[in-house]
Amino acid sequence: MDNKTNEAALARLKRLPVASLRELIGRLTLRQAESIRGQQPEKNELAQLLLARYGPILLAGRPGADSRTSPRLELLKQLEDSDLRALLSSLRGRSVRTRLRQRLLHDLAAFPWVRGSRNSLLLTRALELPDPFAGHSEDTPAPRSEVLPAAFEYHPLFRYQQHLVDELLKLLQTESRAMLSCYTGTGKTRMGMEVLCRSLQNRRSATVLWAAHKAELLEQAIDTLKRIWPHLTRGLSLRVMRYYGGNELDECELAEDQINVIFCSNQQVVLRLRAGDPNLIEWLGKTDLLVVDEAHMALASGYQDLLADYESIRGDTHRVLGLSATPGRSDLISAQESAALGKLFHGCLVIPDVNGGKSPLQWFQRNGYLSQIDHQRLHLPSRLTRKLREQIEQEEDLPLAVLERLGRDPRRNAHILKVAAQMVRKGRRPLIFCCSVQQAKLLQDLLLLEGLEAGAVTGEMDLRDRHWILEQYRKRKMQVLLNVEVLTTGFDIPHVDTLMLCRPTFSGILYEQMVGRGLRGPRVGGTERCLIVDFTENFERFERPLAWQRWWEAWPKSRLDFLARSAPDAWNTRQA
């Protein structure tokens, strides 16, 4: 929104009582802000925080379990009874009889919000806010299927990528399953797509299924396919089909005389398989290649069901390609997990051999494909109750209760806030991984009160709002981006140069996914160096070391080398 729109909205919010503004912002935020700053925020600061927190969706929220109020409700309270009744009558399209003020407020505060609709505009204008706060009309969803045009810019593979693709194509001629593992930021999706396209070059009809667990990963894969297909297949027609986000299967769409690539949510496919969907079973029977993105997740029962059903239907002709930076589940140190995953992919793992048999890590960094890493450890002692320590002993990773407690710790949050502000003053734009949704929102508020442009993305957000925030960060209009495990995969903003890891974990896989957001080097549009800031905890000398410790011990040696040596019985690693 432009400055004029924001100024008008700010002037309207400042007409709310201070008590209402404080209630909307929340006691926890204010208590920690006042403790850190040593003073209460002024009314103008409260109004600015509220506007910055919600932005264009200021009126979209409704009172719920977490809060008995909302910006819409507090603004409605300033209207006369007659205005409330007239507004509700206009929204419903019929006369409203009730004269009870509380009933009118409740119905208006809970009225369904549809972006850009007539009713949203009526509400916005009645509350004296600029029209942009009514939102734009609903975005047009991505088409369920589309035929790709034949003109996109093409960037050839790097030499190491070409070697890996050649090795995979050769391997899949004799083996039914294989996995490609390479560092985050080195182009696994691109290499997977090259395998897909080159395997279809001489075909006139075929079907490929590409599975992933997040819509962002699937859209990223579709974008990659669009850019390389016309240049590799000499004008062959291709139909892209989206089987996620509620899209249904239609057997008529699967044309026999063309190439079909179906992008699907693994959760949706598994549910349909378990329900015995005849269309999906027929599609699997026609699928020449199944690609599993983030394939370290393939040990989950749903994925194993999909692979087993696919093999049962296609027999020896089934082909599965897995893509992952971390070919293990809990941790590569666990031989049992590595063995199980290795068995699932028939022991066929392809990894890069680019440094004469030595660790490939330094080669990728030296040649600019990966960033040089600067590591900073900030120790914040944590005291855990005996009950919480007992919970940790029963979990593979830190339980939610522990993470939520850490996220509420005022001294810890004050230190995180101080470090984030220091990073911004140095010209950095930190990406922060938080312990909980509550902590992400709290830190966002504290940063906003410090005058910094901060946004937070969580799994509970509307995807459109999440994408809008990410776009602001991508365009460098936002100084700090906070998230809660949303950006471990499917997030590609190469200019990330600072990661603040406030969420401790025992999982080497999760830790590597978080760190991977800053690994992209200058040769592929990233940064020459990336600073990783670990907020470490003592946990009163808990027996298991946190993942950051194991990861940084293994990092100089390269985890790909470590994999090849650690579980020889699980993987017959093919080095390309």
pTM for this model (two decimals): 0.86
Which residues have CB under 8 Å from 352's CB, separation 6+? 160, 163, 164, 182, 186, 360, 560, 575, 576
Largest CA distance in the chain: 82
pLDDT at 325 (0 to 100): 85
DSSP run (H or E) holding 532: strand 529-536
Give one DSSP letter per residue of 392-413, joined into a string. Answer: HHTSSS--HHHHHHHHH-HHHH
Residue-wise pLDDT tens digits, 369-388: 999 999 999 987 766 666 66
Rounding to the nearest 10 degrees, give the CA dihedral for residues 120, 126, 132, 138: 0
Share of the chain above pLDDT 70, in %: 88
pLDDT at 193 (0 to 100): 96
Q: How confident is the model over 511-523, as a mean pLDDT?
A: 91
Shared fold status for 145-351 and 360-556: yes
Which residues have CB under 8 Å from 461's CB, separation 6+? none
Q: For residue 356, which phi and psi values (nearest 5 degrees)?
A: 60, 40
Higher pLDDT, 202 or 347: 347
Q: Would you state the structure tokens that stand for residue 53, as one six-digit string? A: 């927190």
Share of the chain above pLDDT 90, in %: 48
Q: How far is CA 255 from CA 57, 82, 111, in A?
A: 42, 60, 44
Asked whether 365 and 354 are in contact (CB, 8 A), the reply is no
Instruction: Find the helix packing angle between 27-37 and 437-449, rounded to 10°.
Output: 50
Q: How confident is the model over 531-544, as a mean pLDDT?
A: 74
Q: Which CATH number fits domain 145-351: 3.40.710.10, 3.40.50.300, 3.60.15.10, 3.40.50.1820?
A: 3.40.50.300
Which residues have CB under 8 Å from 414's CB, separation 6+? 32, 35, 36
CA angle 214, 218, 223 (to 5 degrees): 145
Q: How confident is the model over 434-445, as a mean pLDDT?
A: 93
Q: Is the pLDDT of residue 6 over 60?
A: yes
Q: For residue 283, which phi and psi values (nearest 5 degrees)?
A: -65, -45
Which of 529, 531, 536, 459 is closest to 491 using CA atoms?
459
pLDDT at 88 (0 to 100): 95
Tokens 């029209």 belong to residue? 131
- Domain spans of the chain, in order of start: 3-134, 145-351, 360-556
Residue-wise pLDDT tens digits, 193-246: 999 999 988 888 899 999 998 888 999 999 999 888 888 877 678 889 998 877
Q: How confident is the model over 389-413, as a mean pLDDT?
A: 80
pLDDT at 165 (0 to 100): 97
Asked whether 144 and 239 are in contact (CB, 8 A), the reply is no
Q: In sequence order, what E strands does 196-336 have?
A: 206-212, 238-243, 259-265, 289-293, 320-324
Residue-wise pLDDT tens digits, 126-168: 999 999 999 876 555 667 777 765 556 678 999 999 999 999 9
Residue-wise pLDDT tens digits, 498-510: 999 999 988 888 8
Q: Is the pLDDT of residue 251 over 70?
A: no
Q: Would you state the structure tokens that stand for residue 265, as one six-digit string? A: 């949510």
pLDDT at 399 (0 to 100): 82
Residue-wise pLDDT tens digits, 26-45: 888 898 888 888 888 999 99
Q: Is the pLDDT of residue 455 over 80?
A: yes
Q: In the predicted model, what is the mean pLDDT of the chain?
A: 86
Tokens 């209207």 belong to residue? 79
pLDDT at 213 (0 to 100): 87
Q: Would you state the structure tokens that stand for residue 206, as one six-digit string? A: 């075929």
DSSP run (H or E) holding 480: strand 480-483
Cβ-based neighbour number of residue 240 at 10 Å: 22
Residue-wise pLDDT tens digits, 312-344: 999 999 999 999 988 776 554 456 777 888 889
pLDDT at 356 (0 to 100): 78
Asked whether 376 and 534 are in contact (CB, 8 A), the reply is yes
Q: How far is CA 388 from CA 385, 391, 393, 400, 544, in A?
A: 5, 5, 9, 10, 15
CA atoms within 13 A on the CB side of 125: 11
| Beta-bridge partner residues of 431 | 481, 499
Q: How confident is the model over 93-117, as a mean pLDDT?
A: 92
> Into which CATH architecture does domain 360-556 fall?
3-Layer(aba) Sandwich (3.40)
> β-strand 431-433 against 498-501: which pairing, if any?
parallel
Rounding to the nearest 10 degrees, give the CA dihedral for residues 497, 501, 506, 510: -50
